Structure 1
């Protein structure tokens, strides 16, 4: 089965505008990223065994629709690319109706905890990551991927 992270917007995530606060979208994406890292074989026991973890290097969030208190959502992950130490990951948040409500693009890096620096993925993790990547290889690049922020001048 493909990766999915499911959750419901709790009341404490709702701001003065009556919808999910922008920081909470990022909290949800962060929790989904942690679940994805577990999914590719770096759960807590494996991180301890390999003395290896993942750090987030960069993120870009797009807010497309409001989410209200009690609304359920699902986050899916697409591996856009990876190399020996990094994963270019794209997360999509959909509401219960299946509408895309937010996206997060991120770059993750594998880190040897003993050395405190970037290091190649453990073999078992790399194999699982490659299997996920191969499933996504023919998928269309998400419209929000690779975006930059700036004011367009005419």
Structure 2
């Protein structure tokens, strides 16, 4: 699976500074995450069949370049790591010219909806995650991955 989520910045996402509002970057990343989840086999029908879903546990967003109204962008996904019930996912938002506009690093957890708690991915989903991870194994770790927030003191 080569994941790509394409979108154009709608006018309602633009703030008083004339560019995409910070919350809307996260809206775009959230929509891309939902598309990624469907892409690994957890569409609406599978969620109902397995009584299983995925929750977001943590995110970290880096805003690197402005996005203006009407600009098209593409979000790609890289699985940095995974285990039986979690995915460490990294999303990159690119302008049409390929320049990196923003990134979102997130930890996702699979949830058994009957129990309301973390549980291993259903076998077909686990297989898809593993295959994607192996396919991306030769990719470099993104520069923004694993960052922390803080003021550096000299």
Are residue 55 (structure 1) and residue 55 (structure 2) matched?
yes
**Inter-partner Cα distance in structure 1 for 2:84 and 2:72:** 35
Q: SS of the counterpart of 1:48?
A: helix
Q: SS of the counterpart of 2:133?
A: helix
> CA deviation digits over 1:95-129, x for unaligned, max 9?
01110000000000000000000000000000000
Please report how far the alpha carbon of residue 138 of structure 1 lies from its aligned counterpart in structure 2 after TM superposition.
Answer: 1.2
Paired residues, what number?
154
Describe how 1:15-54 pairs up with structure 2 within 5 A.
15-54=15-54
Q: TM-score, length-normalised on structure 1?
A: 0.99
Q: TM-score, length-normalised on structure 2?
A: 0.99
Please report how far the alpha carbon of residue 153 of structure 1 lies from its aligned counterpart in structure 2 after TM superposition.
Answer: 0.5
> CA deviation digits over 1:41-96, x for unaligned, max 9?
00111000000000000000000000000000000000000000000000000001
Gaps (5+ residues) in structure 2?
none
Residue in 1 that maps onto 2:141: 141
**Inter-partner Cα distance in structure 1 for 2:101 and 2:135:** 23
Residue in 2 that maps onto 1:117: 117
Residue in 2 that maps onto 1:81: 81
Gaps (5+ residues) in structure 1?
none
